[in-house]
Amino acid sequence: MSALPGLGPLLADPLLAAVLTGGRDGLLLLDYDGTLAPFTARRDQARPYPGVVETLVRLPSRGSGRFAVVSGREAGEVARLLAPARPADIWGCHGAQRLLADGSREDPVLSPPLAQALDEAFVLASRTAPPEAVERKPVSLAVHWRGREAAAARDLARRIGDVWRPLAESAGLRLHAFDGGVELRVPGWDKGRPVRAYLRDVPDTALFYLGDDLTDEDAFRALGPAGIGVLVRAERRATAARYGITPPEELLALLTAWADALGAGEPQPGRSHAFL
C-alpha cells in the first residue's frame, strides 16, 4: 500500500491554496466519529478532540469557509455534541437526514415493507446482542462491538451476521461493516449522497471531505476530481482519499489553517434552540 501524501502536501495543494487565499469558494465536509471525535465504547461520551469545537465556532455560517457534517449518527445528536459550533448542514444517518442551521429538517420516509423489515431486524438483534450494543436509526440498525474483547467481538459479529444475512437478502437490505460494528441499511443512503447534492447545487464550490471510516469511502469516490478527500486516521489503509492526516494534531492544524484564512467572514449567529 503506497503512503498517502500528508498535511504538508495537502496545505500546498493548488485547490486548497485557492480557497484559503480567496480565489475559490470552499466547503468543508466533516465526518464525526473517528474524525472530529475519538472512538469510545460509550457512544454518548464521544466528545470532539480538544480545540475542535473552539476552532469550528470561528468558521462562517454562510459563504466560503462554512462547514457541514456528514455522519452515521442522527443529525440532532451531532448538533448536541458539537454545540455551540453550528454547521451549515448536518447530514445524519449516512445522508438520510438533513438538518439545517435554521432548524428545518428533511427526514426519510420508508415504504411499509422496508419499515417492517427493519422492525424484524431489530427484534432479531435484540435477541442476539446486548441492549447497549444495538442502535436503531431511521433507515438502518447498527450493532456495535467496540470496547469488547477480541474474541467476544468476533463472536458477536458472527452471530449477528447469521441472523441478519437471510433477512437482508429477502428484504433487499444491505450489510455494511464499519470500524467497530456492522450496520443493516436500506439501500440508496450513503455518505456520497450529500457530496453529490453539493456538486449539483453549488458546482463552483470546492469540496473538502474529511473522514476515517469505510463508510466515508462513498463520499471520497463521489468527490471525483472536483474535490479533495482526506483520510483522517493514524493507521493508513487502501482508500479513495487523496491525502492522509493524523488526528488530533494534524486535524487541528488543518482546521486552524482553514479558520485563520476564512474565519474573518460572517460569524456564526448565536446558538438557537431550534437547531437542536
Quick: pLDDT tens for 161-210: 999 999 999 999 999 888 889 999 898 889 999 999 999 999 999 999 99
Q: What is the mean pLDDT of residues 115-133?
A: 94
pLDDT score recorded for residue 101: 84
Q: Cell 472530529, residue?
A: 36
Helix H or strand E encompassing 124: helix 112-128
Q: What is the pLDDT of residue 264?
A: 59
Whether the pLDDT of residue 268 is over 60: the answer is no
Tell me what the pLDDT averaged over the chain comes to. Answer: 91
Report which secondary-structure segment, H or E, holds 80.
Answer: helix 75-82
Domains belonging to the chain, first-starting first, are 7-106+189-275 (3.40.50.1000), 112-185 (3.30.70)
Q: When comparing pLDDT for 195 and 109, which is higher?
A: 195
CA neighbours within 13 Å on the CB side: how many for 155?
8
> Which of 10-14, 55-59, 222-226, 245-249 is the least confident region?
222-226
d(CA 140, CA 225): 30
pLDDT at 276: 35
Task: Give residue 274's pLDDT band: very low, low, confident or very high (50, 70, 90).
Answer: very low
Which pLDDT score is estimated for 39? 81
Examine the pLDDT at 213 and tell me if it is beyond 60: yes
Kindly state the average pLDDT of the residues 120-128. 95
Cell of 158: 458472527
Q: What gap in Å lies between CA 176 and CA 193, rounded to an integer?
A: 16
Asked whether residue 22 carries a pLDDT value surpassing 80, the answer given is: yes
What integer pLDDT is reported at residue 50 of this predicted model?
A: 97
Is pLDDT of 275 > 60?
A: no
